[in-house]
Amino acid sequence: MSLSSPVGCTHCGLPVAQARREDGVDAWFCCHGCRTAHALIVEHGLESFYRQAGADERRAAATGDGPRPSYDDLDRARFVEAHTTVTAPGEREATLGIEGMHCAACIWLLEKLPRVVPGVVEARVDWRRASLRVRWQTEHTSLAAIAEAVSGLGYRPHPEAASGRERHGQTDHRQLVSLGIAFAAAGNNMLIALSLYLGMFLMMAEPVVQLLRGASCVVGMVSLLGPGRVFFVGAWAAWRSRTPHMDLPVALGLAVGGVAGLVNTVTGQGEVYFDTLSALVFLLLLGRFIQARQQRRAAALVEVLYSVTPRTARRVVDGEVLEVPALTLEPGDWVQVRAGEVVPADGTVLRGRSAVDHKVLTGESRPCTVEPGASLAAGAINLRAALTVRVDATGEDTRMGRILADVEPSAGPAAQVVRLADRIGGWFVVTVVIAAVVTLVGWLVLDPTVAVDHAVALLIVACPCALALATPLAISVAIGRAARAQILIKGGDVLQRLATPGVLWLDKTGTLTQGCMSVLQWDGDATALAWVTALQRHSSHPVARALVEYGATRGHHGRPTVTDVDQSMRGGIEGRVDGHRVLVGNAPFVEGRVTGPLPPVVLRAAMQMVARVVSPVFVAVDGQVVAVAGVGDPLRPEAASVVGQLQERGWEVGILSGDHPDVVAHVGRALGLSAARCHGGLLPRDKVAYVRQRDGGPSTVMVGDGVNDGAALAAATVGIAVREGAESGLDAAPVYLGSPGLAGLVELVDGSRSTLRTIRRNFAVSLAYNAVSIGLAAFGLIGPLTAAVLMPLSSLSVVGMSLALRWRHASP
């Protein structure tokens, strides 16, 4: 290879600068990280990684220079105790989240970890969760050494909190096994029943009929006593506690059908009902299984908590700053939080002064200043300068953790829709069994030769398929259509609850408004904007960012020379731009630092802004105020029309916000809301209280973002999380609007209404169909064959009606 041509890095394939090549080595590296990874891979004989991974995939695996966090803290006793589990004597297991996995070769490489780190027993990748489960012998290695090795291979490991995942796994297994057995039983019993029905026309020999009936009975009993046992257990519990429960009629139907079928099998007379019974068990279990899956997704609160706090923290040990995984922090540790970083745990400021944005926790959009002694909450954003913080509480003990814990008990109520199917299904079976018995007895008296035929016909036409399909089908169609419109719905009951209007509460910051500061107006000297833009590039304060953005959209990209920037003062920033002393800040800040009166245009504009609840930011050049900018959090453009459309549909719309009551009242007036429904200055707990009032009808809907709304989202009958803002409330809420803005709300409400209409129509059609056909069969007007032809018709009509469900795109 000629030394003058560009060469790819041996590890990641990126072009290598000549200076980084080494003489006498047959490998070239773009950075130190790649050299380490390559050395590790070669040392353990894993070179076939390079054969498996294509060039593009290796490029994606580029390690990059830069400080790596220290993983030593993963061996702190408290962390080991809380987040790893003992699997066998001397063996522990933990899960590491892995960033930087790209291809099959990455899986291969990571699962070869036992060869790289002696003492690792097993390493398994979970691709979808992007995590690695490792099991290791505690006397030979430790989690810190394992994480170090994974990091050496070029991936970014981070510890994952031990959650209820294992427990869920076992419940999942049990449910899946039940479902599998119920499905096999139902399928086989259908085939047997088909043979029996056909046999009636072919004059099947009596012993064969008995064989088929016996087989049907055995399979049916397996289904009833195996997977079907949950209904009996539930019914027994309901009976003992004297609380009506939907399992009761189901169990009654199953028991009556089972006993009657068993007696008839033994005596060789009458009908066996086992095909219908096993089909019912399967369909009911299927509905519950799907429901359980959907609810699980909404329940992983621990993961919400860790998604809003940072993964790494800077721990100060003996004056040295170490980057450590945030999960390993303990109360009493000192951490450093730089400007722009998120506070990793609750704590007290020891050193430094800065402004902090607590928006994620309180909804307050204005930053507040902190100094030594002030308390900070995990999830807050440090805006201005580095702080040293003593950790007071971590993880679930933090203020945010407690807010989320509030959510948990209220996240319980299970879906009503599936229960509706259970209830109707149970009574349906009882009715059908009674009708069949009455038909049989009645015809035995009138004309014994056709009695069995008529009873059989009745059982066939009464197959509960259509009934069982009615709800789940309509709901899954609706959820699918909604997902295409970027509205994610996690449970079917949401649609039912949104179909009838009630009270709808909206969060302000980030929901009705865009959630970030922006310049709404500029009055005074327009030329000063270029200097202000240049000066404010030096600050990360939200107001500064708003001014920079405003300047950039007006073409001020130039970089005048900025010197002597001082942003340590409260309320503003000062600096020298192209030789002029420029001040930008609020009224108290500017007042003491300028001479001369305010220009009339600036004064008038500032008065207007105060009346509109917009913060005026003054600009002074060389000691003279020259302009004023109105900075605020603007309403989303579609907010007013969405609110109007919701009110048209009968919803009572209101605002719940942590922001100042004056701001909230102003926004409420702009949207045409009644003042009694606009509440400001609320803490998360107050929001929950308002949501729980349920004073305006059956459903209380909360629309919000962020963790401070998390509890209210879960306490509402329906919580709807909006995009933008902190992407954390979405797991606590059953609905997530994926497209920016609020237009999805109207779409959702309309879609829910048409879904519920479809479900009702499905029930009506299938019940009417069954009532008519049972009546006809009971009076002997249809035979078994006609019944077998008619039976699928009801299911088909239900399928057709569900697919015809419309989900209109609302225009904002």
Partner 1 sequence: MSVLFIALPTALILGGLAVVGFVLSVRSGQLDDLDTPPRRVLSDD
Tell me which residues are annotated as active site: 507
Q: Is 163 in the site for partner 1 (CB under 8 A)?
A: no
Stretch that binds partner 1, among 146-154, 169-177, 356-364, 397-405 (CB under 8 A): 169-177
- Smallest Cα–Cα separation from 183: which of 252, 41, 282, 309? 282
Stretch that binds partner 1, among 141-149, 171-179, 290-298, 504-512 (CB under 8 A): 171-179
- Nearer Cβ to partner 1 (197/651): 197
Q: How far is CA 378 from the centre of its chain?
A: 20
Please report, as a single letter, which amino acid is at residue 605: A
Candidate residues 39, 218, 520, 670; the one interacting with partner 1 per rule CB under 8 A: 218
DSSP H or E segment with residue 653: strand 652-656
Candidate residues 14, 40, 82, 107; the one interacting with partner 1 per rule CB under 8 A: 107
Helix ranges, 568-709 (H): 587-591, 600-611, 639-648, 661-671, 684-692
Checking 684-689 for CB contacts under 8 A at 24+ apart, the result is: 684/361, 684/362, 684/403, 684/406, 684/658, 684/708, 684/709, 684/710, 684/711, 684/712, 685/406, 685/711, 686/656, 687/505, 687/656, 687/658, 687/711, 687/712, 688/406, 688/410, 688/712, 688/715
Candidate residues 134, 215, 304, 573; the one interacting with partner 1 per rule CB under 8 A: 215
Q: How far is Cα 426 from Cα 493, in angstroms, rounded to an integer?
A: 20
Question: Residue 357 pairs with which residues in a beta bridge?
Answer: 381
Q: Is 52 in the site for partner 1 (CB under 8 A)?
A: yes
DSSP H or E segment with residue 125: strand 120-126
Q: Is 57 in the site for partner 1 (CB under 8 A)?
A: no
- Nearer Cβ to partner 1 (175/307): 175
Stretch that binds partner 1, among 71-79, 172-180, 435-443, 544-552 (CB under 8 A): 172-180
Q: How far is Cα 553 from Cα 546, in angstroms, rounded to an integer?
A: 11
- Nearer Cβ to partner 1 (226/442): 226
| Residue 116 Cβ vs partner 1, minimum distance, rounded to whole Å | 15
| Residue 72 Cβ vs partner 1, minimum distance, rounded to whole Å | 30
Candidate residues 50, 108, 236, 289; the one interacting with partner 1 per rule CB under 8 A: 108
How would you class 76 by CB atoms within 10 Å of its CB: exposed for 0-12, middle for 13-18, buried for 19 or more? middle
Candidate residues 169, 409, 592, 600; the one interacting with partner 1 per rule CB under 8 A: 169
Candidate residues 17, 22, 47, 48; the one interacting with partner 1 per rule CB under 8 A: 48
- Give the contacts of 98 (CB within 8 A, at least 6 positions apart): 110, 125, 130, 131, 132, 150, 155, 156, 157
Q: Is 212 in the site for partner 1 (CB under 8 A)?
A: yes
| Residue 278 Cβ vs partner 1, minimum distance, rounded to whole Å | 13
- Nearer Cβ to partner 1 (210/269): 210
By CB under 8 A, the count of residues binding partner 1 is 32
CB 658 within 8 A of CB 362: yes
- Nearer Cβ to partner 1 (173/559): 173
- Nearer Cβ to partner 1 (275/341): 275
| Residue 124 Cβ vs partner 1, minimum distance, rounded to whole Å | 8
| Residue 300 Cβ vs partner 1, minimum distance, rounded to whole Å | 16
Instruction: Determine the 3-state secondary structure of 350 from DSSP.
Output: strand
- Give the contacts of 299 (CB within 8 A, at least 6 positions apart): 411
Q: How far is Cα 466 from Cα 761, in angstroms, rounded to an integer?
A: 12
| Residue 186 Cβ vs partner 1, minimum distance, rounded to whole Å | 12
Distances (CA, A) of 60 to 11, 102, 103, 105, 585: 11, 7, 9, 12, 44
CB 487 within 8 A of CB 745: no
| Residue 132 Cβ vs partner 1, minimum distance, rounded to whole Å | 11
CB 379 within 8 A of CB 707: yes
| Residue 34 Cβ vs partner 1, minimum distance, rounded to whole Å | 21
- Smallest Cα–Cα separation from 415: which of 298, 502, 501, 494? 494
- Nearer Cβ to partner 1 (210/739): 210
Candidate residues 86, 208, 233, 434; the one interacting with partner 1 per rule CB under 8 A: 208
CB 594 within 8 A of CB 581: no
Question: Residue 635 pairs with which residues in a beta bridge?
Answer: 513
- Nearer Cβ to partner 1 (131/276): 131
Q: Is 205 in the site for partner 1 (CB under 8 A)?
A: yes
Q: Is 625 in the site for partner 1 (CB under 8 A)?
A: no
What tokens appear for 107 in the block? Answer: 């899986």
Cα angle 326, 726, 522 (rounded to 5 degrees) comes to: 125
Backbone angles phi, psi at 413, to 5 degrees: -50, 125
- Nearer Cβ to partner 1 (169/596): 169
Backbone angles phi, psi at 352, to 5 degrees: 100, 155
Stretch that binds partner 1, among 100-108, 262-270, 481-489, 711-719 (CB under 8 A): 100-108
| Residue 526 Cβ vs partner 1, minimum distance, rounded to whole Å | 56
Candidate residues 60, 121, 200, 211; the one interacting with partner 1 per rule CB under 8 A: 211
Strand order in the sheet with 381-382: 368-370, 354-357, 381-382
Helix ranges, 268-334 (H): 274-299, 301-308
| Residue 794 Cβ vs partner 1, minimum distance, rounded to whole Å | 28
Question: Residue 135 pairs with which residues in a beta bridge?
Answer: 93, 122
Site string for partner 1, 173-192 (x = CB under 8 A): x--xx--xx--x---x---x
Q: Is 450 in the site for partner 1 (CB under 8 A)?
A: no
Site string for partner 1, 220-259 (x = CB under 8 A): ----------------------------------------
* Segment 418 to 437, residues that bind partner 1, using CB under 8 A: none
CB 124 within 8 A of CB 142: no
- Nearer Cβ to partner 1 (193/547): 193
What tokens appear for 305 in the block? Answer: 């908590």
Q: Is 204 in the site for partner 1 (CB under 8 A)?
A: yes
- Nearer Cβ to partner 1 (124/296): 124
What tokens appear for 159 in the block? Answer: 């510890």
Q: Is 46 in the site for partner 1 (CB under 8 A)?
A: no
Q: Is 125 in the site for partner 1 (CB under 8 A)?
A: yes
Strand 572-577 versus strand 387-393 pairing type: unpaired
Q: Is 194 in the site for partner 1 (CB under 8 A)?
A: no
- Nearer Cβ to partner 1 (68/124): 124
Candidate residues 45, 128, 242, 243; the one interacting with partner 1 per rule CB under 8 A: 128
Please report, as a single letter, which amino acid is at residue 385: A
| Residue 127 Cβ vs partner 1, minimum distance, rounded to whole Å | 4
Q: Is 650 in the site for partner 1 (CB under 8 A)?
A: no
- Nearer Cβ to partner 1 (203/445): 203
Q: Is 103 in the site for partner 1 (CB under 8 A)?
A: yes
Binding site for partner 1 (CB under 8 A): 48, 52, 103-105, 107-108, 111, 124-128, 169, 172-173, 176-177, 180-181, 184, 188, 192, 204-205, 207-208, 211-212, 215, 218-219
